[in-house]
Amino acid sequence: MHLPLRKCYHVIKLGIVLVLILTILTLFEQWRGGKRSTRAQELEMVQDEFEKQILEDEARIIPGLGEGGVAAHLVGEAKRLGEESEKALAINVYLSDRIAYNRTLRDYRNPACTRVLYDAELPSASVIIIFHNEPYSVVVRTIWSVVNSARRDQPWYRHANFVDRASGKTMNLGYPGQDPTSPFVYLKEIILVDDNSTLPELKGKLSHYIRTRLPPDLIRVLRLPDRQGLMRARMTGARAARGDVLIFLDAHCEAGADWLRPLLQRIRHKRDAVLTPLIDVVDQTTFQLDAAEHFQVGGFTFMGHFTWIEVPEREKKRRGSDIAPTWSPTMAGGLFAMNRAYYWELGAYDEQMAGWGGENLEMSFRIWQCGGTLETIPCSRVGHVFRSFHPYGLPAHTDTHGINTARMAEVWMDDYAELFYLHRPDLRNNPKIGDVTHRRILREKLQCKSFQWYLDHVYKEKFVPVRDVYGFGRFTNPSSGLCLDTLQREGEASPLGVYPCHDTLQATQYLSLSLSGELRDEEKCAELQYSRRNPDEGGEGEGRKVLMVTCHEKDRGQKWRYLSSKQLQHVESQLCLEAGPQPGADVAARPCRRDAPAQRWRIDYSEDN
Ligand code: LR7
Ligand code: MN
């Protein structure tokens, strides 16, 4: 059979094209395969590099250092390097790198806590830890403390009852549906949220550490593509969480013995209770855990700051026992547990808050005003490194604390927002605050109570600088142009002084004379220093110093009155308050003299003005 030449030619052409295509395809496949294998190789090399670094890290650890929570010290050159790192980062990172990442803390709970019986079956917990450029070893230690405290073989679980108190059924320790062979109880997951850190060790190396050193399937790392600030970082974690209860921690914490169960038990019992553990101080220099027997709860100032306050006497009576849930008017904000569904129902966070600050008071007021309770659980203890400054920058150096607090005040404080603006006139009607309509709608929807209700029922002890007062604001001595000023002096009893009057109301010059006769700021009252040598001293020499001390209503020593001569007289001693001679000087109480210009005071806002 003969093919015509023309046809033959076509077949050959087709064959050549086919061969060409096949060759190209094979070459392409080979090229792709080669590329893939170099990528895998590269990855392996990177992993090896992380592994090498981690092995080096591990070689640095000094066994036993800081174990149990005792103070750790380095000497010589190491000490110097430690101090240097602390100066830069507000944590002695050089020391932290040398303390075991999984050090344990001694059990320093109130002994009564060890006798509490918890249900065998409790809700599950998602622990959410957010971080931005935190020291690597400190973050890893935080994770280890959470992992270790939840191990099934911990002594505090070993003697637990296996009969569920609520249902009467015999069951395994854990949460409903948990695999009873899991080495962990109650802890469903740990979610790390990296708020766009720039430190390289918090990226691949941290992930590699988690993959190779920590239990599998327990820890997830979510990486935010841009810096979101701590509120949105926590919300990202909360969205990913699957546990019944959300527990938030800062990335420089160490969880104590059996800290989970008291939280989970309370939330099982009261769904809308938001809980903080008792927060202990981990020293930024020595990593010593300072576990005080005595604990405080949260307060606030109208400047918008969180403060620690003593547990009010009426609350000590109400709670009934030293280890019972203790109502707290506010929380510090970083360490708390909350039913997951309730967290979202209550409005999570104000997503328009950025950076750092303000969200803690916002959430505290919201919890109370909208029907929940905020409680400190004394049997759950967690250490936190309190840093002397923020080692990280905030977005474009903006005052996120001020702006966030203004957002909070606009939504939750009603007319009392004015007291915040007295301190921050620059923020009044400031467009930087942005729109808060959606948060007001939330307040409406949840039918939340007023700030007045909060003050009357939750925080009765709170002194309101403009309520039941004779006058408030700056106390100016016109002849010298100096104002009464607490001079930013810290401490139990620090002398009241004078300083050039500020144009705006600053916290140190913001004083009130209450109707009950207290001359005070938000937290402390003016009292005469007692002189043992001569209790009635004051005539000669320096006069008697005036100290700012804890207010105690009963004591006559803290009573003052404002005379028509514009003098401030101490009722008990009959002495008058006299301005010091120069800025920064202490004031003194001396015999009243109507003609003494240094004894004359003008109050910014009072019935006379
Ligand atoms: O932009 C940021 N993104 C973040 O992810 C800024 C911070 N963060 C992380 C940071 O890495 C850390 O893990 O957020 C966490 C909290 O930041 P810190 O540790 O600098 O804050 P703080 O401990 O000084 O401040 C307290 O008040 C804050 C107000 O916004 C937060 O609520 C903190 O969580 C809170 N800390 C505590 O409540 C711990 C107890 C101490 C007190 C008082
Ligand atoms: Mn912190």
Q: How far apart are CA 118 and CA 366, in angstroms?
A: 29
Residue the block writes with tokens 């059924």: 169
560-576 pLDDT, tens digit per residue, is 999 999 999 999 999 99
Q: Which residues pair with 427 in a beta bridge?
A: none
Closest to 470 measured CA to CA, from 505, 507, 510, 519? 519
| Domain residue ranges of the chain, discontinuous segments joined by + | 93-385, 469-606
Give the model's pLDDT for residue 15.
Answer: 78
Give the model's pLDDT for residue 516.
Answer: 92
SS (H, E, C) 354-398: CCCCCHHHHHHHHHHHCCCEEEEEEEEEEEEECCCCCCCCCHHHC
Q: How confident is the model at residue 154 (pLDDT cuts 50, 70, 90)?
A: very high
Residue nearest to atom 37 of ligand 1 (CA): 334
Q: How far apart are CA 238 and CA 253, in angstroms?
A: 19
Distance 356 CA to ligand 1 centre (A): 7
Give the model's pLDDT for residue 21.
Answer: 83
Give mean pLDDT, residues 156-162: 73
Q: Where are the beta strands (DSSP E) in 284-438?
A: 289-290, 297-300, 306-309, 326-327, 336-339, 373-385
Q: Tell whether the model's pLDDT for residue 103 goes beyond 90.
A: yes
Q: How confident is the model at residue 309 (pLDDT cuts 50, 70, 90)?
A: very high
Distance 281 CA to ligand 2 centre (A): 11
Which H or E run contains 603?
strand 602-606
Quick one: which atom of ligand 1 is closest to the CA of 335? 38
Q: Tell whether the model's pLDDT for residue 170 goes beyond 80.
A: no
Give mean pLDDT, residues 50-67: 98
Give mean pLDDT, residues 10-28: 80
Give the model's pLDDT for residue 396.
Answer: 61
Give residues whose Cβ lies within 5 Å of ion ligand 2: 250
Which residue ranges have their beta carbon within 6 Å of ligand 1? 130-132, 134, 195, 229-230, 233, 250-251, 279, 306, 332-335, 355-357, 359-360, 384, 386, 390
Give the CATH H-level superfamily of domain 93-385: Spore Coat Polysaccharide Biosynthesis Protein SpsA; Chain A (3.90.550.10)
492-546 pLDDT, tens digit per residue, is 899 999 999 998 888 899 999 999 999 999 999 999 987 655 545 444 556 899 9
- Cα 95 from chain centroid (whole Å): 23
Ligand showing the shortest atom-to-Cα distance for residue 250: 1
Residue nearest to atom 35 of ligand 1 (CA): 334
Q: Which residues pair with 482 in a beta bridge?
A: 477, 500
Highest mean pLDDT among 388-392, 396-400, 552-556: 388-392
Burial class (CB in 10 A: 0-12, 13-18, 19+), 605: middle
Residue nearest to atom 9 of ligand 1 (CA): 131
Q: How confident is the model at residue 13 (pLDDT cuts 50, 70, 90)?
A: confident
Q: Which two tokens stand for residue 310?
A: 């003593």
Residue the block writes with tokens 């467009």: 431
Average pLDDT of the chain, as a whole number:
92
Give the model's pLDDT for residue 12.
Answer: 79
Fold equal for 93-385 and 469-606: no
Distance 219 CA to ligand 1 centre (A): 21
Q: Tell whether the model's pLDDT for residue 1 goes beyond 60.
A: no
Q: How confident is the model at residue 608 (pLDDT cuts 50, 70, 90)?
A: low
- CB proximity list for 19: less than 8 A, separation 6 or greater: none
Map residue 576 onto helix, strand or coil. Answer: strand
Closest to 568 measured CA to CA, from 558, 554, 581? 558
Q: Tell whether the model's pLDDT for residue 2 goes beyond 90.
A: no
Give the model's pLDDT for residue 491.
Answer: 82
Q: How confident is the model at residue 455 (pLDDT cuts 50, 70, 90)?
A: very high
CATH class, 469-606 region: mainly beta
